[in-house]
Chains A and B, each alone.
Chain A
């Protein structure tokens, strides 16, 4: 007689409590580090460290720059609560590989625990907000320009509140995109704190905030925790979550925005980052557990499906990890997973089956993002920049030119600079490789000194083979030197000659010296005041303009006979005219009809 058997499936069976013949996986007592799929149990995937910021103590935030296929990480350094605590930005590849330091956001972060950062991509910028409940501890909201890696604070003149001594910087707790506009919530400046206010940017300027465009949700002392844009059919609504309330704003522009209306009077998001969206629904972890928002109405409870033995919201709050929690959407073939992460506890909701599982991370996490890697070949560039020349523009910048050889097309060109003999301080400039030149800011270029430059391709944090962190070892084709010119010699100057009386200008044969082509020669008029000269530039020419012929410039001459003193200098822009430069004195004569006649005699150092 065949033996009797009963099926055992993970996710189905007889439920003892309810006596139902079929019960879902939520009744399973243990589901650790697994995902459920089609009635089978499979281990979750592991965690692989793809890149590391040296010396960083944690990663405060991670934001996808989808257009550039990279991630921007906010790296925390030092110990929270101490003066060493600071936040710096770095680029990571879309596949998480590679680390390139970008700059400093907060040299002193006043968060008493690991800082929380929310960010969003807008154009070529990443907007970053410091999620800090206390306005006095909150850092300025900043925009990182991915083209040049510049970091600027979001600002508005009206933020000064009429006091010019006030800062014009804006401080939001978080930012998101809604209808291609930037929305910042938890508004504040160093003079104002509006925790229940969200501001929306101008339609054509995501960084511009009008003083009159804002939404206030509920009681002023009850802070907004998160805002998220949600699709509703052919339109979008802005959900505004508080800890235990949710509001929504409908409409598409200033003319038809309506709200905020109360959508759910009991549930919201317990912390700013406990919100995730799969595109059609918004998932939050509220004070009573996880919720799902569809449309503008009240939310659905999805927490009843959680395993009873797992930590509750109250447990998480008691452990101090609730506010540190974050949610994110995990793309997965066959259906995504929403994860709620509380340092090392993870609650994973399979959206296809609505089944929960629980992960215990061996490596605690503080933030998450879905990054986008380029399809196809994702490794380091197989090309290199071919150095052409570097030309000093002024005392604080130079222009470098190169050729792109075998570029993949999405590289960033790093320009490294050092004074000859010094150590390499790191990349001084980043430029998209679609260009073939860049003007590099380099404060304090010293006249007469030799400088070395080196170039390499950075492809999502990965570098061409052979291009290490020591440019001395890079192929010579990607390196070069230039010399900052000393004070250029004075231009050649010949005595002015008489003009015929038909042109309204004087002709001064000035021949610029043979210096770098970017240094202009200028003609000043001198006005003598109390024994000193006030210089006024009346003409600026580059040597390339007309190197072989004399220059013409407008002569300031009143009717009658006027004597004008001129000075000619070849000097970088911004330099102070050298009193020892070339001078000449001219005498202009203009008749009553306005025709200028001119006769002059050159004179060197004839002035008082």
Chain B
């Protein structure tokens, strides 16, 4: 039985590259980047605040003590009305793959990420509030690795609704 695989021929050298092998491009790291579709809790005309996101990821289980592990940092940006309102990062620890034929099991974990924006007066921060706007999107960036972002939920509170017009 044959095993098919896709290979690229290099444009700048005489190398033949296996596609889908590992998580770097011939030694150069790359960044995975995904931006979710917008959600509009109050509809296209209303506003809401977005204090937190619960992000589900699937990855190899975290290492036990003294075990070698890989470290992957995910950067999560709350994009409200097409503007990056807040940024949060978290790190996923992956158990190292000692034996490719017997990789560690993968699990889904949910991470809570709080978002806040400062309330500034004359360069003085007077308080922090959750991002507020109409549409919310999540932009996730992380280095090529065995970490899948499965989506999640955005916490919101509607603060402005369409008021009926009374004559």
- B15 and A52 form a contact (CB under 8 A): yes
Q: B3 touches which one: A29, A52, A373 (CB < 8 A)?
A: A373
Chain A residues near B8 (CB-CB < 8 A): 47, 62, 341, 365-368
Chain B residues near A69 (CB-CB < 8 A): 2
User: In the complex the two chains form, what is the Cα distance from A27 to B30 in whole Å?
Assistant: 23
- B2 and A66 form a contact (CB under 8 A): yes
- B12 interface contact, C-beta 8 A: yes
- B10 and A366 form a contact (CB under 8 A): yes
User: In the complex the two chains form, what is the Cα distance from A343 to B12 in whole Å?
Assistant: 10
Which of these binds chain B: A5-13, A209-217, A415-423?
A: A5-13
Chain B residues near A15 (CB-CB < 8 A): 37-38
- B4 and A46 form a contact (CB under 8 A): no
- B23 and A51 form a contact (CB under 8 A): no
Interface of A is mostly: strand
Shortest distance between the CB of B143 and any CB in chain A (Å): 8
- A46 and B11 form a contact (CB under 8 A): no
- A23 interface contact, C-beta 8 A: yes
Interface hits, B30-46 → A, CB 8 Å: 30-41, 44
Chain B residues near A332 (CB-CB < 8 A): 20
Chain A residues near B17 (CB-CB < 8 A): 47-50, 96, 363, 365
Number of interface residues of B (CB under 8 A): 66
Chain B residues near A368 (CB-CB < 8 A): 6-9, 19
Which of these binds chain A: B60-68, B89-97, B151-159?
A: B151-159
Which of these binds chain B: A37-45, A252-260, A443-451?
A: A37-45
**Assuming A96-B7, A331-B4, A372-B3, is B151 touching A8 (CB within 8 A)?**
yes
Chain B residues near A95 (CB-CB < 8 A): 3, 5, 18
- B144 interface contact, C-beta 8 A: yes
- B162 interface contact, C-beta 8 A: no
Closest chain A residue to B32, Cβ basis: A43
Interface hits, A468-516 → B, CB 8 Å: none
Shortest distance between the CB of A288 and any CB in chain B (Å): 26
- A71 interface contact, C-beta 8 A: yes
User: In the complex the two chains form, what is the Cα distance from A5 to B153 in whole Å?
Assistant: 6
Which of these binds chain B: A53-61, A238-246, A532-540?
A: A53-61
- B100 interface contact, C-beta 8 A: no
- B149 and A58 form a contact (CB under 8 A): no
Q: A94 touches which one: B2, B6, B142 (CB < 8 A)?
A: B2
**Assuming A45-B19, A46-B23, A330-B19, is B9 touching A59 (CB within 8 A)?**
yes
- A364 interface contact, C-beta 8 A: yes
**Assuming A45-B19, A58-B11, is B2 touching A373 (CB within 8 A)?**
yes
Shortest distance between the CB of A367 and any CB in chain B (Å): 4
Chain A residues near B140 (CB-CB < 8 A): 41
- A57 and B32 form a contact (CB under 8 A): no
Interface Cβ pair total, 8 Å cutoff: 273
- B153 and A370 form a contact (CB under 8 A): no
- B22 interface contact, C-beta 8 A: yes
User: In the complex the two chains form, what is the Cα distance from A598 to B8 in whole Å?
Assistant: 77
User: In the complex the two chains form, what is the Cα distance from A38 to B87 in whole Å?
Assistant: 26
Shortest distance between the CB of B161 and any CB in chain A (Å): 13
- B138 interface contact, C-beta 8 A: yes
Interface of B is mostly: strand
- B9 and A40 form a contact (CB under 8 A): no
Shortest distance between the CB of B86 and any CB in chain A (Å): 15
Interface residues on A, range: 35 or more
- B101 interface contact, C-beta 8 A: no
Q: B39 touches which one: A8, A47, A60, A330 (CB < 8 A)?
A: A8
**Assuming A8-B138, A362-B28, is B34 touching A30 (CB within 8 A)?**
yes
User: In the complex the two chains form, what is the Cα distance from A372 to B28 in whole Å?
Assistant: 26
- B16 and A57 form a contact (CB under 8 A): no
Shortest distance between the CB of B67 and any CB in chain A (Å): 23
Shortest distance between the CB of B111 and any CB in chain A (Å): 13
Chain A residues near B44 (CB-CB < 8 A): 16, 19
Chain A residues near B3 (CB-CB < 8 A): 94-95, 372-375
User: In the complex the two chains form, what is the Cα distance from A69 to B8 in whole Å?
Assistant: 17
Chain A residues near B88 (CB-CB < 8 A): none
Closest chain A residue to B21, Cβ basis: A48
Contact flags B124-167 to A (C-beta < 8 A → 1, else 0): 00000000000101111011111111111111111000000000
Shortest distance between the CB of B133 and any CB in chain A (Å): 12
**Assuming A46-B21, A62-B16, is B9 touching A372 (CB within 8 A)?**
no
Contact flags A453-467 to B (C-beta < 8 A → 1, else 0): 000000000000000
- B6 and A328 form a contact (CB under 8 A): yes
Closest chain B residue to A42, Cβ basis: B148
Most chain A beta carbons < 10 A, residue from B3, B7, B24:
B7
Chain B residues near A44 (CB-CB < 8 A): 20, 32, 144
User: In the complex the two chains form, what is the Cα distance from A269 to B166 in whole Å?
Assistant: 60
- A315 interface contact, C-beta 8 A: no
User: In the complex the two chains form, what is the Cα distance from A40 to B36 in whole Å?
Assistant: 10
Q: B157 touches which one: A4, A53, A94 (CB < 8 A)?
A: A4
Chain B residues near A33 (CB-CB < 8 A): 30-33, 144
Q: A30 touches which one: B4, B29, B135, B139 (CB < 8 A)?
A: B139
User: In the complex the two chains form, what is the Cα distance from A372 to B32 in whole Å?
Assistant: 28
**Assuming A16-B135, A40-B149, A45-B22, is B10 touching A363 (CB within 8 A)?**
yes
User: In the complex the two chains form, what is the Cα distance from A588 to B150 in whole Å?
Assistant: 102
Chain A residues near B7 (CB-CB < 8 A): 50, 62, 71, 92, 96, 368-371
Top 10 closest pairs, chain A to chain B, by CB: A56-B14, A59-B9, A45-B20, A13-B37, A53-B14, A362-B25, A362-B28, A365-B8, A48-B21, A30-B35
Given contacts A7-B151, A30-B34, A49-B15, 16 further A-B contacts (CB under 8 A): A4-B155, A9-B37, A28-B35, A32-B33, A37-B148, A46-B24, A47-B21, A50-B18, A52-B13, A58-B14, A59-B14, A62-B7, A92-B7, A339-B6, A363-B17, A364-B12
Q: Offer 9 A-B interface pairs, CB within 8 angstroms, sorted by A.
A: A16-B40, A31-B34, A34-B34, A43-B145, A47-B26, A53-B15, A73-B16, A330-B20, A365-B10
**Residues of chain B at the chain A interface (Cβ within 8 Å):** 1-26, 28-41, 44, 53-54, 58, 135, 137-140, 142-158
